[in-house]
């Protein structure tokens, strides 16, 4: 209005002429950059209040509205002591995808670091991932394929291309600074033959990825394979006929230890998570994964520190760092105010199998070697394709039944058991109820006509749930469903080291 003459020149405010005559030499800075290596170690009272608030939002499924991804602040670190890991199920079907249930795929989310790992990638997983508000394709840095059946790997070439087409590659490339990343933006782990499959699929489709990937193959022993498995020439990638792609980085051939297990397959020598692999029994070689997160540093008990006279601020931060402080001539040791160190999460994700007892043997070996202090799993993701009445059929097809899985969970002291990989003969529990209501309505409206509701209805997954609960297993049992978010139970001092 002023520029268009709404006010006469003599009536214009003084500040207008001053600003024109003496413009600022430097534009005001509205955002102050925060160095990435700066960590605020001081825990302020308002951090505790915010953590309590966000904790309530987490329980009510609204935490993701706040986008807490800053892992430098005391608030996010305090929250991560409570909410640390989540599982997002993208596909829970066996054999093939259907309109109601997708092929196998599950994402492990680390809320502290922001990284996401994908376990198995059946056909259509990329579509399911784009539907989920909890999955970010650009944050998938590691992909683990349990075995070479199509419902666990046919979606992998398309997923890598979708990441590139959607412009997520720049996000991946910018995060390729980890020394254990083996020089690739995305690292893929699986049985022998996976490297050639992916190389041929991308080469034949002329996929020009703008980021790099590497396939690390787990070399199987003779006892891990069927008698004729090594006769399959298609497992070997011929470097002459099938040369590596320009976007492919050399992958490692990872051999099993003398005890038959694969240790630290991600080659992580830092104080990060360690991934173990076990061979489980199926119709073809199949793998299971054990993820052990690092122990969390001891947290500060602010109430105890205040009772000892420690003021809120710098001295509390020094105590949390393990330093001794002096308050009013009194020496206070860190162990006086620090809570016991909490162990990291232990998560096991099994591929297709009718016998995964090797996981129990791995836990026993780790316990004997003092790598873990107790045989305990926080979460076990295991298939339960058929119910107990079809045990022989499940065994012939290389799959498990719920009672067998629940008994294994008892031996492993599992706190949370998640069953997945269901046969299409079973209907979702909610769908079964809806179909029952619909059948009653159809009969009342037109009982003379034969409707679809008169056909033999599918049994409900409630059968599998009831059979798992009928065992001695006392932990939580969850039936996985597409787009289901499962929160890994937090580790408290009741589940701590040595317990």
Query: What's 373's domain CATH number?
Result: 3.60.15.10
Over residues 132-159, mean pLDDT: 94
Query: What's the pLDDT tens digit per position in 362-376?
Result: 999 999 999 998 999
In three-state form (DSSP H/G/I as H, E/B as E, the rest C), the secondary structure along the chain is CCCCCCCCHHHCCHHHHHHHHCCCCCCCCCCCCCCCCCCCCCCCHHHHHHHHHHHHHHHCCCHHHCCCCCCCCHHHHHHHCCCCEEEEEEECECCCCCCCCCCCEEEEEECCCCCEEEECCCCCHHHHHHHCCCCCHHHEEEEECCCCCHHHHCCHHHHHHHHHHCCCHHHHHHCCCCHHHCCCCEEEEEECCHHHHHHHHHHHCCCCCCCCEEEEEEECCHHHCCCCHHHCHHHCCCCCCCCCCCCEECCCEEECCCCCCECCCCCCCCCCCEEEEEEEECCCCEEEEEEECCCECCCECHHHHHHCCCCCCHHHHHHHCCCCEEECCEEECHHHCECCCECCCEEEEECCCCECCHHHHHHHHHHHCCCCCCCCEEEEEEECCCCHHHHHHHHHCCCCCHHHHHHHHHHCCEEEEEEECECCCCECHHHHHHHHHHHHHHHHHCCCCCCHHHCCCCCECHHHHHHHHCCCCCCEEEECCCCEEEECCCCCHHHCCCC
Q: Is residue 38 part of a domain?
A: no
Q: Is residue 167 domain-shared with residue 216, that is, in the same domain?
A: yes
Considering the domain boundaries, does residue 24 fall inside one? Answer: no
Q: Are residues 490 and 438 in the same domain?
A: yes
Are 438 and 476 within one domain? yes
Domain end (from 286, 317, 336): 336
Judge whether 211 lies within some domain.
yes
| Distance (Å) of CA 440 to CA 19, 164, 428, 460 | 78, 49, 19, 18
pLDDT of residue 315: 82
pLDDT class for 319, splitting at 50, 70, 90? Answer: confident
Q: What is the mean pLDDT of residues 393-406?
A: 96
Domain C-terminal end among 288, 314, 336: 336
Please tell me whether residues 258 and 329 are part of one structural domain.
Answer: no
Average pLDDT over residues 22-38: 50
Residues 227 and 185 reside in one and the same domain:
yes
Residue 28: inside a domain: no
Q: d(Cα 138, Cα 141) in Å, to the nearest integer?
A: 8
166 and 312 assigned to the same domain: no
Q: Are residues 316 and 293 in the same domain?
A: no
What span, in angstroms and rounded, lies between the C-alpha atoms of 486 and 87? 5
- Can you give the length of the chain in residues? 499
| Residue 130 Cα distances to 66, 126, 135, 144, angstroms | 20, 6, 7, 19
> What is the per-residue pLDDT across 43-92, written as a single tens digit (0 to 9) for each?
555 555 666 665 555 544 444 444 444 444 444 444 545 557 899 999 99
112 inside domain: yes
Question: Is 175 domain-assigned?
Answer: yes
Residues 190 and 280 reside in one and the same domain: yes
Domain that holds residue 137: 84-297+341-444+452-495
**One domain for residues 158 and 131:** yes
Instruction: Give the model confidence (pLDDT) of 263-292 as tens digits.
Output: 999 987 665 789 999 999 999 999 999 999
Is pLDDT of 150 > 90?
yes
**In terms of domains, do 288 and 349 share one?**
yes
The answer to the question of residue 274 being in a domain is yes
Q: What is the pLDDT at residue 19?
A: 53
Mean of all residue pLDDT scores within the chain: 80
Of 279, 314, 336, which one is at a domain's C-terminal end? Answer: 336
Cα dihedral 61, 62, 68, 69 sign: positive
Q: What is the pLDDT of residue 25?
A: 59
Count of domains in the chain? 2
Q: Are residues 206 and 308 in the same domain?
A: no
Residues 327-356 have pLDDT tens digits of 888 888 888 888 888 888 999 999 999 999
Catalytic positions, written as ranges: 151
Q: Is the pLDDT of residue 29 over 70?
A: no
pTM of the model: 0.77
Which whole-number Å values give the CA distances from 79 to 69, 113, 230, 293, in the listed order?
Answer: 11, 12, 49, 17
Same domain, 127 and 194: yes
């Amino acid at each position: 209005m002023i520029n268009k003459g709404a006010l006469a020149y003599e009536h214009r405010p003084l500040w207008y002429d001053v600003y024109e005559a003496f413009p600022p030499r430097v534009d005001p800075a509205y955002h102050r950059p925060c160095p990435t290596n700066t960590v605020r170690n001081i825990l302020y009272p308002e951090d505790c209040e915010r953590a309590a608030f966000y904790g309530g939002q987490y329980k009510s499924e609204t935490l993701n509205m706040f986008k807490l991804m800053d892992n430098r602040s005391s608030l996010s670190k305090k929250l991560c002591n409570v909410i640390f890991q989540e599982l997002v199920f993208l596909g829970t079907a066996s054999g093939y995808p259907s309109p109601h249930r997708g092929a196998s795929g599950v994402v492990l989310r680390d809320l502290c670091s922001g990284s996401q790992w994908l376990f198995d990638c059946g056909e259509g997983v990329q579509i399911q991932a784009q539907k989920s508000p909890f999955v970010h394709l650009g944050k998938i840095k590691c992909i683990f394929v349990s075995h070479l059946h199509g419902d666990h790997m046919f979606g992998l070439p398309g997923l890598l291309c979708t990441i590139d087409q959607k412009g997520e590659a720049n996000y991946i490339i910018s995060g390729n600074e980890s020394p254990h990343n083996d020089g690739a933006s995305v690292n893929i782990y699986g049985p022998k033959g996976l490297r050639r499959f992916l190389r041929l699929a991308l080469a034949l489709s002329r996929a020009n990825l703008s980021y790099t990937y590497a396939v690390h193959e787990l070399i199987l022993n003779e006892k891990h394979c069927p008698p004729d498995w090594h006769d399959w020439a298609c497992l070997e990638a011929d470097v002459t006929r099938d040369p590596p792609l320009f976007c492919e980085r050399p992958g490692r051939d990872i051999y099993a230890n003398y005890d038959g297990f694969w240790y630290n397959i991600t080659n992580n020598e830092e104080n990060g998570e360690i991934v173990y692999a076990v061979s489980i029994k199926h119709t073809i070689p199949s793998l299971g994964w054990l993820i052990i997160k690092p122990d969390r540093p001891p947290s500060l008990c602010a109430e105890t520190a205040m009772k000892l006279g420690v003021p809120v601020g710098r001295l509390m931060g020094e105590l949390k760092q393990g330093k001794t402080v002096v308050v009013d001539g009194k020496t206070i040791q860190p162990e006086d105010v620090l809570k016991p160190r909490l162990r990291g999460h232990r998560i096991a994700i099994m591929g297709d199998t009718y016998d995964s007892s090797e996981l129990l043997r791995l836990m026993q070996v780790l316990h004997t070697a003092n790598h873990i202090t107790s045989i305990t799993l926080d979460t076990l993701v295991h298939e339960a394709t058929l119910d107990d009445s079809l045990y022989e059929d499940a065994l012939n097809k290389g799959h498990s039944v719920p009672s067998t899985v629940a008994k294994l969970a008892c031996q492993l002291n599992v706190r949370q058991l998640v069953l997945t990989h269901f046969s299409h003969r079973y209907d979702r529990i909610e769908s079964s109820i809806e179909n029952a209501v619909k059948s009653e309505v159809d009969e009342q409206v037109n009982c003379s006509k034969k409707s679809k509701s008169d056909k033999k209805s599918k049994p409900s997954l409630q059968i599998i749930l009831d059979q798992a609960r009928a065992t001695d297993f006392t932990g939580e049992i969850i039936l996985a469903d597409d787009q289901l978010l499962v929160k890994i139970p937090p580790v408290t001092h009741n589940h701590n080291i040595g317990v």
